[in-house]
Amino acid sequence: MKQVAISLESEVAKAYLNARPEIRKKAEITFNFWLKDILMDKKKAKKEFFSTIQRLSKIARANGLTPEILNEILNEKRK
C-alpha cells in the first residue's frame, strides 16, 4: 500500500489516532474499499470487498472468533 495524506474532521482524526491497532487496520481496509467504490470500477470494487470479507471471516474463525465473541466485542464498543 501507498500512504497519502487526507483531511479528516478533528473528531474522526482523534478517534482514529486513539483506536487500538486492530481497529485502525479495520478502518483502513474499509476506507480503501469505500474509496475504490467511489473512484474506480464499482463492480470490481464490490467483488474485491466481498472476497476480502470472506477471507477475513475464514481467518477469524480459524483463530477462534465466534459470533458470540464478536457480539461481545461490538457491544463493548457501545458502552
Query: Domain ranges in the chain?
Result: 10-78
Q: Residue 16 contacts by C-beta under 8 Å, 6 or more apart in sequence?
A: 8, 24, 27
Q: Is the pTM of this model over 0.85?
A: no
35-66 confidence digits (pLDDT tens): 887 787 777 777 888 888 898 889 999 999 98
In this prediction, residue 41 carries a pLDDT of 75
Residue in this structure with the C-alpha cell 485502525, named with its chain if needed? 24
pLDDT of residue 34: 83
Burial of 48 (0-12, 13-18, 19+ CB in 10 A): middle
> Which ranges in the chain belong to alpha helices (H)?
10-18, 21-39, 42-62, 67-78
Enter the DSSP assignment of 19: S
